[in-house]
Structure 1
Amino acid sequence: MKKPQLTFRQNFDPQRSGLRSLQWVDWLVLIGIIVLIYAGVRLAANAPAVVTGREISLEPTRLPWYALFSILRMLGAYLLSVVFTLIYGRVAAYNRRAEKVMMPLLDVLQSVPILSFLPVVLLGLSAILPQNIAAELASVVLIFTSQVWNLTFAWYQSLTTIPKELREASAIFRLNSWLRFKNLELPFGMISLIWNSMMSWAGGWFFLMAAEIFTVGQRDFRLPGLGAYLHEASLQGDLQAVGYGLAALILVIVALDQLVWRPLIAWSDRFKVEMVESDNPPTSWFYSLMSSSRLARFLGERLFSPLNERVDRWLMRRFPVEQEERPPSRWQMWAGRLLAIAVLVLLGYGAIRAVLMLTQVDGSEWGQIGLGVVATAVRVGLALLIALLWTIPVGVLIGTNQRFASVVQPIVQVAASVPATALFPVLLLFILQLPGGLNLAAVLLMLMGTQWYLLFNVIAGANAIPQDLKYTTALLGLKGWQRWRTLILPALFPYLITGAITASGGAWNASIVAEYVTFSGKVQQTTGIGAVISHATDQGNYPLLLAGTLVMVVVVVLINRLVWRPLYRQAEEIYRME
């Protein structure tokens, strides 16, 4: 007798799947990015010739201050990321006309290799701002770009997969945009947002070292922080200071895990879409302590609840129930056309100037770029394959087994947050002696920097599987591969695609530090587009830097549009649980 199977929504429209070549919007967005990069390169040429960085002390007593500076930079970038995510993702999810521009733009932005663009941003800002302010802004921008894309994709994915019956219920109750956001959208996406926030902080730690130790020739933009401390200790070969720095970093990560992330995970369990309560909900000693605190209860009743009601009343008056969208007036249409013409003229002028700069790149350099793209693509594909092989089973185990998660999840959080760039010089001592040398090391660094995007999204997906569906599979006798095929993999699919998009972009970005390494006073490099970009940065070859960056952006955008975007549409249309 054939066993019944659980099914997901089957309504796939190939016209919306993205199974098409790049559209005019993609090219327009790409031209805009080219113009921005060119403008940054032109500003960078006017930066001061010599910049003196701040002294980094290796005294252990300085570590608390360095840790505070690093946390503040991370927090500032994270708050910017959350604001950007909530606004950008919501507009893209609900406005189909805006989505045609916003999602290609998001594809391009998350594809820009910020480690190659950082010199342009930093030198450009230093040309118009004081050095300290320019360095701080550039570091926040770099950390922001390492945190924001996976958050935005996760939020967009959550909004586009809200079950139809929940949307209909919000319409029946005539919830305005604020109440719908507060009572439906944010709760539905909360689990994914929290796990991706943890990943964003882990990714931010990865880029923190690059953000705090940046140098270009005679220009030194070092900033006081944990990343700068670890780098300075590595340069001086002070293993004791390296140990102090890593201990301080791990202590900060563990404190954040116990005081912030674990309580948030325990609190977010209430937002699961399920009919039956979980047998083993996630727990947190700090969350339990705060829940039983009389002071917290007093503040909630006397301060936060009245404040929340006032905010609700104010926003309900400001955002009434949405009516049908009205067509734009004639003057709005003309204003939009004039603005579009002005933007096109500006983009056209900037594109022409960028093309003139690209003509300075000779044929041999273009051939080097083409060969480098192929080599880096092979490494990226290998890193993603290895990451998928281990993150899916481990992530599902962490997301479904709370006893296992209570032990392993803090370890994973620490491992994901330790910047691979801090450990890479130590690993090179051993890897360069093995067959494959830097090729193997490059794949390893890409893996260390990107596998966590997949793991945290798999954990979020497994954690969000409703308990009633788990009971249903047990009642139907589904076990082993049949259970994976009918419940686990379909439920994980949207989260896997979100993780794969950001992991792929992160792997391409990591190639810049993985394929071109300065070790023991010597430059170690291998064939790859990341090595081309890093070499151009070291030599101050701005035309080659522009060419290499643009080629990487175009390749990653093509992969996103032709591979990941169709899969994203499938996740939205087929694997929505309702």
Structure 2
Amino acid sequence: MEIIAFIALITLDTAASWLRMFTALFFSILISIGVGITAAVSKRAEKIILPVIDIFQTLPILAFFPFVIYIFVFLLPGYIGINAAVIFLIITSMAWNIIFGVYEAIKVLPAEFLELADLYGLGFWSRLRKIFVPAAMPRVVEQSVLSWSIGLFYLVTSEIFSIGNSNYAVKYGIGVALAQLAFSGNYLHYFIGILVFIGFVIATRFLFFRPLEKHFTRYNTVSEEPKRHFVIHFGIAKAFNYLARLRHSPPTRLASRVSKRNAAARAVIKKKTIKEERIQFVGAKRAGIGIAVIILAFLAAFVISKYPNIAVYEYEALISLAASFARVWIAFAVILAVAFPVCVYLVFISRHRNSYLLLFQIIASIPATILLPIIVIALRGYTFHSELTAFVIFFLSGIWYIIFSVIASSASMQNEVFEVKKLFGLKGRRAWKYLYSKAMLPGLVTGAVTAIAAEWNASIVAEYFTTTGISGTNVVSSVSVGIGKLLDTSLGSGNMLLMIIALVNLTIMIIIVNTFLWKRLYRKVSNVYK
């Protein structure tokens, strides 16, 4: 009888968390459609939105804690403010991934869609309703599955947050309930809670996301023109069907012929213009960077002279950042060593890829933060157990991004990639060197960007985890030094200056890595099949 009562109570807690998750997902999709479409159709907006989102998705969730507390908790009364804060924190972990999905979906729309829309004078709302939203929805659903998993990862951190001596926690929530059970030593109820949590994950997958995926991917091709074989999503097919009747009218056929005749001329003019603009842009960019460096140097010298503590804080932040940088990239190297063979097997060898993919999606939906108490207990007897705990959290945070990204990108691989393997009988080392490694590079690079971002986000849990807000203040796991620990401790002590300095250093590091590593890798692998 006691077990039945507990199952009913833990089901209520899980349902409360799921209600917050669905609310956060709804608002994340609304925000993503607006921001993603704006970035895709406007060059000016694209230059601003993409770098900002790229930084935001890498910042740890507690970077938003002060904003959440001062805006939601202080302005909205009691429990309403706490729940609004939790939902907002979950949105900050969900939205970025969906925004990039919407952006990519609109970017791959055939140019004829927009040309026909211009020709027939379709207004903004007509384009949004009939073209952009239908074309984006398949990617929205696809990215929502991953964003849901990300939101679950930060469920514990979102449902329990603190700043200084003030602690905030929701009354009902699976994150709070499981953390309380684990830290109180009630492991039987803890494992029952995890089973209930997994049940909700599976039910959500089959009863919510699976029907949506089937609805938006019913049509794999568009048969009107063979050259559009790459348009595989139902959303693009739906948008094309809306405009298909327009393209058969005389004005449309005339516009199409004119477009084809002028294509070569436009290409030559465009190539020459782009080359000239690139030369001017590079020169202006270098000059701008030089001026910015000089200004920043003077500002830094002035601030340090006025506030001596800043130099000490900066040194502490740099040491912490270097330690976390090493942990993140060591974990990433192990992730690659494990994920690459798994991806090769799933893409090129296995005949049951969809079954494995479904299993991986269910496993990936179980957040490492829920398992953290058990991970800590299992590793407590080992030397450097805190470092091992951090490594396991980093590993679980990043590996799924690599696997899912490579599998998703395999859908766009040209058929010749698979035919080469059969035609030349590539096996063993030759297949790995000349086929597998090159064919999966685009997916690996995309997955690597999101995996590294996920690891940085996980640093606040991996490097420092306490029972604050649950059952007193006991440190469960703590590394000696790290940027995640520094952010946690500075926020907990109310040292906002140190927290801001740590965040600024983390942001600068992210920009440098994105500029000098990921963007260059993207350029190199973009034409991997040519």
TM over 0.5: yes
Q: For structure 2, which runs of at least 5 residues remain unmatched after alignment?
A: 233-237, 247-254, 256-298, 468-472
* Mapped pair 1:566 → 2:520: yes
Contact 1:473 1:483 in 2 (8 A): no
Aligned to 1:437: 385
Determine if the alignment matches structure 1 residue 81 to structure 2 residue 57. Answer: no
- 58 and 521 in structure 1: CA distance in 2 versus 1, 3 angstrom threshold: farther
For 2:324, which of 367, 373, 376 is the aligned residue? 376
**Secondary structure of 2:150 counterpart:** helix
Whole-angstrom distance in 1 between the partners of 2:365 and 2:169: 23
Q: Distance in 1 between matches of 2:212 and 2:343?
A: 18
Are residues 1:521 and 2:474 paired?
A: yes
Give the alignment of 1:448-527 within 5 angstroms: 448-465=396-413, 468-469=415-416, 472-473=419-420, 476-477=423-424, 479-480=426-427, 492-518=440-466, 521-522=474-475, 524-527=478-481
**Aligned-pair distance for 1:552?**
1.4
Provide, for residues 9-49 of structure 1, a one-character-per-residue CA deviation record: whole Å limited to 9, x for no partner: xxxxxxxxxxxxxxxxxxxxxxxxxxxxxxxxxxxxxxxxx
Q: From 420, 438, 458, give the equivalent of 2:368.
A: 420
Give the superposition deviation at 1:260.
Answer: 2.9
Quickly say closer, same or farther: Cα 1:399–1:201, change in 2 above 3 A: farther
Q: Given that residues 92 and 102 in structure 1 are in contact (C-alpha distance below 8 angstroms), is that contact kept between their aligned partners in structure 2?
A: yes
What is the SS of the residue equivalent to 1:214? strand
Higher RCO (CA-CA < 8 Å; seq separation 6+): 1
Question: CA 1:392/1:269 → structure 2, altered by over 3 Å: closer, same or farther?
Answer: farther
Q: What is the match of residue 270 of structure 1?
A: 219
> Equivalent of 2:494, from 540, 543, 557?
540
Show CA shifts across 1:312-352 (max 9, x none): 99xxxxxxx9xxxxxxxxxxxxxxxxxxxxxxxxxxxxx99
Q: CA contact under 8 A between 2:401 and 2:450: conserved in structure 1? A: yes
Deviation at 1:225, TM superposition (A): 1.3
Alignment match, 1:222:
170
Pick from 98, 102, 117: which aligns with 2:49?
A: 102
Pair 1:385-2:333 in alignment:
yes
SS of equivalent to 2:355? helix
Deviation at 1:182, TM superposition (A): 7.3
Instruction: Report the CA distance between 1:554 and its aligned residue.
Output: 1.9
What SS does structure 2 have at the residue aligned with 1:220? strand
Map of 1:242 onto structure 2? 190
Contact 2:421 2:435 in 1 (8 A): no
C-alpha deviation, 1:532, in angstroms? 1.0
Q: Separation in 2 of the partners of 1:564 and 1:383? A: 18
Compared CA separation, residues 58 and 431, structure 1 to 2 (3 A): farther
Matches of 2:529 and 2:25 in 1, distance apart?
29
Aligned pair count reads 452
Shift in CA distance, 76/235, structure 1 to aligned 2, threshold 3 Å? same
Distance 1:469 1:133, change over 3 A: farther
- Report how far residue 238 of structure 1 moved: 0.9
How many angstroms does 1:253 deviate by?
A: 0.8
Letter in 2 for 1:530: G
Residue 325 of structure 1 corresponds to none
Residue in structure 1 matched with residue 144 of structure 2 by the alignment: 197
Letter in 1 for 2:180: E
Once the two structures are TM-superposed, the CA of residue 374 in structure 1 deviates from its matched residue by: 0.6
- Maintained 8 Å contact 2:162/2:492: no
Q: Give the superposition deviation at 1:179.
A: 7.5
Give the conservation status (yes or no) of the 8 Å contact 1:213–1:223: no
Displacement of 1:375 in angstroms is 0.7
1:86 and 1:152 in contact (8 A); partners too: yes
Does the Cα contact within 8 Å between 2:60 and 2:459 map onto a contact in 1? Answer: no
Matched residue, 1:359 = 307
- Structure 1 residues 193 and 476: CA distance shift in structure 2, 3 A: farther
Per the TM alignment, residue 127 of structure 1 is displaced from its structure 2 partner at its CA by: 2.1
For 1:111, what is the secondary structure of its paired residue?
A: coil
Q: Secondary structure at the match of 2:481?
A: coil
Where 2:57 maps in the other structure, the secondary structure is helix
| Equivalent residue letter for 1:390 | V
Structure 2 counterpart of 1:148? 95
Report the Cα distance in structure 2 between the residues aligned to 1:181 and 1:396, rounded to whole angstroms. 39
| Counterpart-to-counterpart distance in 2, 1:273 and 1:390 | 37
Q: Secondary structure at the match of 1:59?
A: helix
Moved more, 397-406 or 106-115: 397-406
Q: How far does the alpha carbon of each residue in 1:368-401 deviate from its partner, in whole angstroms, 9 at most, with x for none?
A: 2111111111111122222223334434544567
**Separation in structure 2 between the aligned mates of residue 269 and residue 434 of structure 1, nearest angstrom:** 51
3-state SS of 1:527 partner? coil
* Residue 171 (1) aligns with residue 124 (2): no
DSSP-derived class of the 1:365 partner: helix
Q: Is the 8 A contact 1:191 1:460 kept in 2?
A: no
Query: Contact 1:257–1:410 at 8 Å: present in 2 too?
Result: no
Are residues 192 and 452 of structure 1, via their aligned partners in 2, closer, same or farther at CA, if it must alter by over 3 Å? Answer: farther
**Deviations 1:189-240 (Å, cap 9, x if unpaired)?**
6665444221111111110111112244343333411111111111221112
Closer/same/farther in 2, CA of residues 104 and 522 from structure 1, 3 Å limit: closer
CA contact (8 A) 1:206 1:420 kept: yes
- Aligned partner of 1:532: which letter? L
Superposed CA RMSD: 4.1
Q: Conserved in 2, the CA contact under 8 Å of 1:461 and 1:491?
A: no
* 2:352 equivalent in structure 1: 404
What residue number does 2:76 align with? 129
Give the AA of the match of 1:104.
Answer: P
Alignment check: 8 A CA contact 2:368 2:396 kept: yes
CA distance 1:409–1:260, change in 2 (3 Å):
farther
TM-score, length basis structure 1:
0.68
- Answering whether residue 6 of structure 2 is matched by residue 59 of structure 1, we say yes
**Kept in 2: contact 1:272–1:464 (CA 8 A):** no
Give the 3 Å change call, closer, same or farther, for CA 63–400 of structure 1 in structure 2: farther
Are the structure 2 counterparts of residues 420 and 152 from structure 1 closer, same or farther at C-alpha, using a change threshold of 3 Å?
Answer: same
Question: Structure 1 residues 449, 123: CA separation in 2 closer, same or farther (over 3 Å shift)?
Answer: farther
More divergent stretch after superposition (388-397 vs 452-461):
388-397
1:167 partner letter: A
Q: What is the rounded CA distance, in whole Å, between the counterparts of 2:183 and 2:222 in structure 1?
A: 51
